Structures are given as structure tokens and as C-alpha cells.
Amino acid sequence: AQTVTQSQPEMSVQEAETVTLSCTYDTSESDYYLFWYKQPPSRQMILVIRQEAYKQQNATENRFSVNFQKAAKSFSLKISDSQLGDAAMYFCAYREISKLGGSEKLVFGKGTKLTVNP
């Protein structure tokens, strides 16, 4: 089974600064999807950004970008110009597809709690 590791339980950043959240994963597949989700306190999980493994170009969504290193199985999230509203739990996730039964699911890391200081 695939695993996802987020080694930073907590991170903090000053407003308007840049922060990078780390994620590593383990898989033997060559084609897959990776995601970053944001979960504000007591609110629902929101998709931040996705990366398709066969695309070499790193995904970017406004202030959010990823550094995808396929060989190293690393998928970090960079948040530029941090805002107070960015404060949340951030989860890295790998989309696992079962070749046998056609099932699929997301495998999540344990998350990184991001604090944004004014």
C-alpha cells in the first residue's frame, strides 16, 4: 500500500512571507495524481492544487505552487505572500487506484498545521 509522509506537524509563517510544506510518498506506480488539501478549523476539506505524475511541469494555482520531484518521491507545497486566511491544516494526498477491483481512494498524510502570524 502507498504511504504519504508529512514530516512537519506544525509550521508558522509571517504574513506576506513564503512558506514551504513538505510531503514524501511511496509508490511503485509510474502514473498517478498527488494533491494538497486545506482544512480550516471546523470547516471542510478544500482542494488546493493537484499534480499529475506524468507532467514534468510543476503545478501552480495563484499563490500556491508545488515542487514535484518524481524520482525523489517528493511533493512540497509553496505558499507565497501568505495571508491570514491561509491558516489551516494542510494535507498531502496520493490517489491510489486498485488495478484488480477498479477501486480508488486517497491516501493522506497526517497533516501540517500552518499558523500565519500578522
Binding-site ranges for another protein (CB under 8 A)? 4, 33, 35, 37, 43-47, 50, 52, 91, 93, 95, 98, 101-111
CB atoms near residue 75 (< 10 Å): 28
Residue nearer to another protein on the CB measure, 53 or 118: 53
Q: How far is the CB of 30 from another protein (least distance, A)?
A: 16
List phi, psi (to 5°) of 100. Answer: -80, -55
Q: How far is the CB of 18 from another protein (least distance, A)?
A: 24
CB 5 within 8 A of CB 25: yes
58 DSSP assignment? P
Q: How far is the CB of 56 from another protein (least distance, A)?
A: 18
